[in-house]
Amino acid sequence: MTVTQDLFREDSYLQQCEAEVVALTEQGIVLDRTVFYPLGGGQAGDSGELERVGDGARCTIVDARKLKNPEDQPTQAVAHVSAPGEPMPLAVGDKVIARIDWGRRHRMMRLHTGTHLLAHLVGAPVNGCSVTAEGARVDFAMSEGLDKELLGQGLAALVAADHEVTVSSISDAELDANPGLVKSMSVQPPRGTGRVRTIRVGGTEAGQGSDAVDYQPCGGTHVLRTGEIGAIVVSKIEKKGAQARRVVVSLAD
Ligand SMILES: [Zn+2]
C-alpha cells in the first residue's frame, strides 16, 4: 500500500519539499512525501505546484485529497490533483519540488486555529466545520442564541493574549478513556496509527492550567500562537434549525 509521508503534520510551516512521484492515478499524482494538506477534518486541500528537478517542468495542483482505495475508503496516501485541461508532464520516478500556495494555506491556518477559539468561547458540541482561505464556519449543536458582538470581542481577546498553540498526541486508549476530549460530532479524530494527534491552545501538557483555552484531537494545520491569527471577525451568525447555530468567521486583511 502506498503511504505518503505527511510532513505538514509535524511542521505546518513547511512551504515546499523534495519528493518522488510514486504513482499516477485517476485521482491525482501520488508522491512519497508531501507538504500538501489533503482535504479533511473540515479543512480544504492545498493548491500549489509540482516542479520537476532537472528541467523545471511544472504542473499546477488545484487540490489535494486523500487517495481512496478501490473500496472508496481514504488511505494514507495523498493525491495531488492537477489542473484540468493543462498538460501533466510528470512520470513515475520523477523527482519534484512540491510547493504549496503559502498565502492561501496561511490564511487557512489562521482561520482553522480561530475555529478552536470559537469552540472554546461557544462551549457547545461542534456539528460541522469548514475552513477555506475565504473564511471558516462552525456549526454548533445548541438552541440558545449567540451574540455576534460578544463573540467577536472574545476572539479578539484570545488573539491579543497570544496563547501558544501546541501539537502533541495521545494513544487511542487514552482517547477512549477521555471521550470528552472530542468536541466534534461530525469529524472523527485522526486515528489509524495507534496515536491521535492533539492540538492544545494555551494551558499546560494535558490541557490544564489557568490559561487553558482548548484541547482536542485535530489533524489540521494551525498557527504557532493565537496572535498570528490577527484580524479575525465574526461575519455572520445563522440559526440553522431549533438545535443548530452557525458561526461564520473571516479575516479582515
Ligand atoms: Zn484544528
Gap from CA of 220 to ligand 1 centroid (Å): 5
| Cα 190 to Cα 72, 196, 232, distances in angstroms | 18, 6, 27
Helices and strands in the chain: count of H runs, count of E runs: 4, 15
Q: What angle do CA 74, 75, 77 make, to 5 degrees?
A: 125
Last residue of a domain, one of 100, 129, 145: 100
Last residue of a domain, one of 100, 116, 145: 100
Place of cell 472554546: 120
Same domain? For 122 and 85 the reply is no
Same domain? For 129 and 227 the reply is yes
Q: Provide the domain count of the chain.
A: 2
Same domain? For 46 and 110 the reply is no
Same domain? For 117 and 217 the reply is yes
Same domain? For 108 and 41 the reply is no
**Domain, as residue range, for 167:** 104-251
CATH of the domain at 79: 2.40.30.130
pLDDT for position 165: 95
Gap from CA of 19 to ligand 1 centroid (Å): 26
pLDDT tens sequence across 87-139: 999 999 999 999 999 999 999 999 999 999 999 999 999 999 999 999 999 99
Last residue of a domain, one of 81, 100, 119: 100
**CA–CA distance, 137 with 42 (Å, rounded to integer):** 9
pLDDT tens sequence across 137-152: 999 999 999 999 999 9
CB–CB of 128/136 below 8 Å? no
Nearest to 33 by CA among 14, 54, 61: 14
pLDDT tens sequence across 202-228: 987 665 676 788 999 999 999 999 999
Rounded to two decimals, the pTM is 0.94
Gap from CA of 68 to ligand 1 centroid (Å): 23
Same domain? For 205 and 245 the reply is yes
Same domain? For 133 and 13 the reply is no
Same domain? For 160 and 80 the reply is no
Gap from CA of 218 to ligand 1 centroid (Å): 5
